Amino acid sequence: MSPWSEKMLQLLLRMNNFHLPGSSLETCLRFVVAGVHVGWVTPNVASILARFPDVFWPHRDAVTLVAALDSADRRSGALGAVLEQLRDEDSLTCLRGWRNEKYAVMARYCDSPLMYMERAATSLFGVKRYGVHVNGYSRDVDGGLSMWLARRSNSKQTYPGKLDNLAAGGLAAGSSVKHTLLKECEEEACIPACLAEEARAVGTVSYTYEDEEGIFPECQFVFDLELPTDFRPQIGDGEVQDFYLYPSDKVREMLVSGEFKPNCAMVALDFLLRHSVIQPDSEPYYQEFVAGLHRPL
């Protein structure tokens, strides 16, 4: 087995570590809103939430939002007040990354939101987060495939200076996938809407990991955007410090170099698999790679 294959497999296992034996899944309580299981809460977080009996009811294997909070607005307001207090106490590191950006909470993307939650708090409740990632690519006159990669700004809250996909962003409450796609392309890479409209939806990448800040079930809506060979992305809102156009073989090698933001490496791997840069006869972990990219909770 090649060192590259082993490193790639380890990255996928790390990004799905909530599914592995010994994870906190074995001890987590379900997070339930209006009778619907929408997330996971660790025992430590459950003990903190028990301080707020007007909002949360921890019992047996679940933490339930109290029934008196019977609308999305009431639930969101009550939860928001708790989170503001916890942020002021400064005991939960994830809340130090407060974004003032709301994410919708629901069991499935097709469901109506049951409530809205500050983005930085989603890992406390293990609720699913959605995002949009765009693979920018070009082909030369001989058909050779190259990918556009972005390097994140050194001032980013998360993974500063790491490699990213051409454009990407979280799906904020009230924003459609297409709106987010067009917004991120314009803001991050100065790609005009008339060109970004050509992006093709090619599926999703899903995974669930946990770290010291909580549990992260995530689903990324993935798009491929073929760009003219004479087009170069430009730095827009400052979230990116540079762009690179690399041949697909170089991108493949860089995926395991530690330079990538991990979930962006997964999206790039998905691109290389779909475009047959990585083949099942030459990659023994081919099936494991595909499975690791599509592991919803």
pLDDT at 142: 87
pLDDT at 157: 85
Task: Give strand pairing partners of 32.
Answer: 37, 64
Domain with CATH 3.90.79.10 in the chain: 3-18+129-292
CATH of domain 24-125: 3.30.750.160
Q: What's the average pLDDT block by block, 10 residues per block, for the chain (297 residues)?
A: 95 97 95 98 96 95 97 98 97 94 96 97 98 97 94 93 97 96 97 97 98 96 97 92 97 97 98 97 97 93
pLDDT at 129: 97
pLDDT at 1: 74
Domain with CATH 3.30.750.160 in the chain: 24-125
Residue type for 122, please? T
CATH of domain 3-18+129-292: 3.90.79.10
pTM: 0.95
